[in-house]
């Protein structure tokens, strides 16, 4: 485990720590941009009220509910859909940079990754812009991550925006996990190629 990272159990053992849970929802897709650029995956992020990009989710109090139940509750508010999140979807927990001198009140950010069907992703996008109570308030809109390069743009441009907390590294680490899955289609090596071409440390 990399330094600063915690297991779910270690994170929950921190008495007094605050916990934030966020999730990367994604699916495979056959659709092509301009009918020729494969999109391959739809990965959902959101434009937050503060103008920063992040993943759906929020603060959870483990004294009152499980991390996963709290994350599902946040998803209902932000995306208008009740998506069950399980412990198996938990991929990472780490301390957020300290904003207070007291280590016991530090924020731990938990990250989940959940694969869905394309139909479910599309339904969630529609609900997020229609029935979600946070729409236009805490959440200005869902955005898809462009997983390709275009002349002067694509993933590189997306990554040059401002992200909340460690959301940018959560995205990059998840992309790398995605390409390392044994079941992964070799086509997906394009992600590794893109990250190399961006000279990102991977």
Ligand X SMILES: O=c1[nH]cnc2c1ncn2[C@H]1C[C@H](O)[C@@H](COP(=O)(O)OP(=O)(O)O)O1
Give the number of other CB atoms < 10 A from CB of residue 149: 17
> What is the smallest separation between the CB atom of 119 and ligand X, expressed in angstroms?
24
One character per residue 163-182, x = contact with ligand X (rule: CB under 6 A): -xxxx--x------------
Using the minimum distance from each CB to ligand X, give the nearer residue, 170 or 173.
170
> What is the smallest separation between the CB atom of 146 and ligand X, expressed in angstroms?
18
Q: Report the distance separating Cα 102 and Cα 150, nearest Å.
A: 46
Using the minimum distance from each CB to ligand X, give the nearer residue, 71 or 179.
71
Question: What φ, ψ does residue 37 adopt, rounded to 5°?
Answer: -100, 115
Q: Which range touches ligand X (CB under 6 A), out of 4-12, 54-62, 124-132, 175-183? A: 54-62
CA 29 remoteness from chain centre: 18
Q: Is 88 exposed, middle or buried (0-12, 13-18, 19+ CB in 10 A)?
A: exposed
Structure tokens at 42: 């739809």
Residue 70 is a binding residue for ligand X (CB under 6 A): no
Residues that bind ligand X (CB under 6 A): 20, 22, 54-55, 57-59, 109, 138, 164-167, 170
């Amino acid at each position: 485990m990399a330094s600063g990272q915690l297991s779910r159990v270690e994170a929950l053992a921190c008495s007094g720590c605050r916990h934030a849970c966020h999730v990367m929802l994604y699916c495979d897709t056959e659709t092509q941009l301009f009918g020729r650029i494969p999109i391959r995956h739809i990965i959902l992020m959101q434009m937050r009220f503060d103008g920063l990009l992040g993943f759906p989710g929020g603060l959870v109090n483990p004294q009152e509910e499980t991390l996963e139940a709290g994350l599902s509750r946040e998803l209902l508010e932000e995306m208008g859909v009740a998506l069950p999140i399980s412990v198996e979807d938990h991929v990472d927990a780490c301390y957020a940079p300290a904003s207070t001198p007291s280590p016991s009140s530090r924020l731990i950010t938990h990250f989940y990754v959940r694969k869905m069907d394309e139909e479910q992703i599309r339904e969630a996008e529609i609900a997020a812009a229609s029935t979600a109570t946070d729409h236009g308030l805490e959440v200005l809109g869902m955005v898809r991550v462009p997983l390709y390069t275009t002349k002067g743009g694509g993933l590189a441009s997306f990554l040059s925006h401002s992200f909340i907390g460690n959301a940018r590294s959560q995205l990059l680490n998840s992309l790398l996990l995605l390409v390392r899955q044994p079941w992964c289609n070799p086509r997906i090596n394009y992600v590794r190629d893109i990250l190399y071409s961006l000279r990102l440390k991977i």
